[in-house]
Amino acid sequence: VDKTPDLSKAFTILEQYSNDPQKRNELEAKLKSDRDYAYDLAARFEAGELQGIEKGAEKEKLKSARKMLQKGMDVDMILEITGLSKKDLKDHGML
């Protein structure tokens, strides 16, 4: 089978690493580091995504509360429906 230059280089590197325990350990450490970094990045992305979803939900609750107040609804009823607290409403200038 004709090997392309890239494949030939890959086979040479593979042979070097599989025959040299020190190089193999270095490669395994580098691969582990890369996997750990990728995992950390994915976890941070997921946490950021969840945080964004939570902020969006909170924003919608506040928007709904504002509309309910404008329609004259009872504050306690609004708190019960939205799950917000009086402090939340005060902090956003609604009380």
Q: Is 79 exposed, middle or buried (0-12, 13-18, 19+ CB in 10 A)?
A: middle
What is the model's pTM? 0.57
At residue 3, the pLDDT reads 59
At residue 5, the pLDDT reads 76
Model confidence over 7-56: pLDDT tens digits?
A: 888 778 777 777 788 888 888 898 899 999 999 999 999 999 999 999 99
Q: Where are the domains of the chain?
A: 5-91
Q: Are 75 and 86 in contact (CB under 8 A)?
A: yes
Q: With bands split at pLDDT 50, 70 and 90, how would you rate the model's confidence at 75? A: very high
Would you mind telling me the total number of residues written for the chain in this entry?
Answer: 95
Model confidence over 77-95: pLDDT tens digits?
A: 999 999 999 999 999 999 9
